[in-house]
Structure 1
Amino acid sequence: MATGLQSKAAGKTRAQKSFETSERILDVAEAEFSRHGFDGVTLRAVAKKAKVDTALLHYYFDSKKGLFDAVFLRRAEVLNKDRMEALDRYEAEAGDNITVEGAVAAFLNPVLERCANAGPEWRAYFALIGVVNNTPVWGGETMTRYFDPVIHRLIRVVRRALPYAREEDLFWS
């Protein structure tokens, strides 16, 4: 006998169904934002393609900006974790022999591996990063918000290879 939280037909809990619905919305929104940019996407179009009511998007994400932020954050967290781990491994393996090339490779390899081996969802995400980087009004702020911690980590590692470099040179090179 199914509990009040369990769907008899699907055998899934409400939480599972909610998660799956949210992920489906995020997948559709990610594809739409990567193709059309923020201004070219409507909540109505996302809802239609995700086969949900527009009110559900407002329930989960509050607004189009909230949906966009959730789309961006979902994969940024994974990518940042991969990059941080790669930088940690590189530092542990290199010891006192840190090089700029090694640090940059550790930073970029997780992205390159995702590009080469991941499915269409990651390709859409990388296209979205390209869209955001080319959005002059808020693109820089978005990239800063989601990627600054890992950029600062990279700078700290590069600093070990170039201890006498000026801070501004490290950030702009």
Structure 2
Amino acid sequence: MSAADAILYLFCATIVLAALQDLAQLRISNIFPVMLVVLFGVWLAVVGIEKDLWENALLFALSLAIGMFLFSRGWLGGGDVKLLAAIMLWFDLSGGLALVIYVAIGGGLLALAFIIARRMIPAPRNGGTRPPALRPRGPIPYGLAIAAGTLLCVAWHAPNPAPPAAPVKVAQRV
């Protein structure tokens, strides 16, 4: 396994852990987006910096700005915004577009699943309460959709390390 592969596995593991925390606690700790940004720096150190890195930075800034607007309206959680922006840093424009599509589809399916689950799971007896995500009109842990969309995007549009430079052949004088 190459160092680049190990970094991608850590990237995916970090996203899965963030989604699991969101499912359990309806929050995403700041450590996860920070880890993703640090891992991106390590990724660049391992595979090298490409000339189109501006696309990654543009997607990061754009997703953070749009996410902050959505957060101010109460449509998306702050942890979701930071996680998605940190993930966007890893993709160029074509991969970022695919990521947005996968996350949006995943979000729609997730919302549908929670709507069905909220109607099918009976209310607890003896005055108990449901977990917040299963209460009628309760919040949806969107980190699950972000993680699912990202894992699909990595599987189909993985950031590929630049191939190593071919060794330079030195002509021998005879």
State the TM-score, normalized to the length of structure 1.
0.27
Question: Which has the larger share of helix?
Answer: 1
TM-score, length of structure 2 as denominator length: 0.27
Question: With CA pairs under 8 Å and 6+ residues apart, which has the higher RCO, 1 or 2?
Answer: 2
